[in-house]
Amino acid sequence: MVRTVLLLGAMLAVTHPSAWGEEKKAPATRTLQADAKLLASVKEWAAEDVPAVVDGKKVKVNFSLYFMAKEGKSGGDITLSTGSDSFDVSFELVELNGKRFIKVPPIEFLKNPGFMLEYTVEADKITVKKSKASWGKTVIDFGDGVSLKPVK
């Protein structure tokens, strides 16, 4: 009986992936500073036919983001543009409850309450979702997600 238990234990140890050094690890997460650097490494992120409300009318716009990150920081300056209307402001990348956001602070003289855009970023796209951005007479609702690609 003891031999059987020892034999089974030895077999389990040899057949378990960790015994071969192949244990799967969670992928490393980029730091917020690395995200900011990646976002700023692309001149322009753009998407076409993004739903918006401009001057109270529902329209589709070509939407762009331009990031200028501060060296070694998780923030900097950002331009949000619809082609006919743009907004330059500072930003900070933040993480809350495992989700990442582009945080734009309030700007009183523009009567802008500030906003947070939930995002995910990869080398070839940034996806903004479940958020709204508003400035002047423009409101962009990202709904289930809008993917912006690098403009070449």
Q: Does domain 32-150 have CATH number 1.20.272?
A: no
pTM above 0.85, yes or no: no
pLDDT band at 135 (very low <50, low <70, confident <90, very high): confident
What pLDDT sits at residue 39?
Answer: 94
What pLDDT sits at residue 1?
Answer: 54
Angle at 77 between CA 102 and CA 149, to 5 degrees: 60
The H-assigned helical ranges of the chain are: 2-15, 32-40
Q: Is 28 exposed, middle or buried (0-12, 13-18, 19+ CB in 10 A)?
A: exposed
pLDDT digits (tens, 9 = 90+) for 86-124: 888 999 999 999 999 999 998 777 677 889 999 999 879
Listed by start position, the domains of the chain span 32-150
The amino acid occupying position 34 is A
SS3 15: helix
Of all residues in the chain, the percent with pLDDT exceeding 90 is 57
**Of 120, 105, 103, 110, the residue nearest 85 (C-alpha):** 110
Mean pLDDT (the chain, rounded): 83
pLDDT band at 51 (very low <50, low <70, confident <90, very high): very high
**String of DSSP letters for 17-43:** GGGGT----PPPPPPHHHHHHHHHTSS
pLDDT band at 27 (very low <50, low <70, confident <90, very high): low
What pLDDT sits at residue 48?
Answer: 94
Q: What average pLDDT score do residues 29-54 get? A: 93
